[in-house]
Amino acid sequence: MQLDDLYRRVIMDHYKNPRNRGTLDEESVTINLNNPTCGDRISLQLQVVDGKVTDAKFTGEGCSISMSSASMMTEAVKGHTFEEALNMAERFSSLMKGEDVEFEENEDIEALSGVNKFPARIKCATLAWNALRKGIENQ
């Protein structure tokens, strides 16, 4: 099996079986973002305790890239401090620029590395990560 095929399977698994899809009942930070060029939209909720993301959920509509990226991101940031989550967002930006980056927090994220070959899709992949950044920066 080729690496591209494996990556496609990982992306489709997160799209068809999204992790952390839904809403948080308790008080949370809520960020709504959309990508006007393609219509993707996300509502990200972060539960924060003492500067640490204790839970993360999302709702929204969009392509397989944007929704699977949101699924992967919400899995990765749980249990991490704001600083660690922002570091992940920076590494994800580097991944989208074609740089070789590893994600020990959630290796599935590396499946999105091929998106950088399709510049129009980078905004899809980064939508959830931009919501994460905005949520942390507004704290």
Whether residue 110 contacts residue 14, with contact meaning beta carbons closer than 8 Å, is answered with no
SS3 state at 39: coil
Q: Whose structure tokens read 């948080």?
A: 24
Is residue 114 over pLDDT 60?
A: yes
pLDDT of residue 25: 85
Whether residue 47 contacts residue 31, with contact meaning beta carbons closer than 8 Å, is answered with no
pLDDT in tens, 52-108: 999 999 999 999 999 999 999 999 999 999 999 999 999 999 999 999 999 988 999
Which range marks the domain in which residue 112 is found? 3-137
Instruction: Give the mean pLDDT of 43-53.
Output: 95
Structurally, the chain folds into a number of domains equal to: 1
The domain that holds 29 is classified in CATH as 3.90.1010.10
pLDDT of residue 84: 97
Whether residue 33 contacts residue 24, with contact meaning beta carbons closer than 8 Å, is answered with no
* DSSP string over 59-97: EEE--HHHHHHHHHHHHHHTT-BHHHHHHHHHHHHHHHT
Is residue 1 over pLDDT 60?
A: no
Please tell me the distance from the alpha carbon of residue 22 to that of residue 72, in angstroms, as a whole number. Answer: 14
* 63: exposed, middle or buried (Cβ count in 10 Å: 0-12, 13-18, 19+): middle
List CB contacts of 84: < 8 A, sequence separation 6 or more: 77
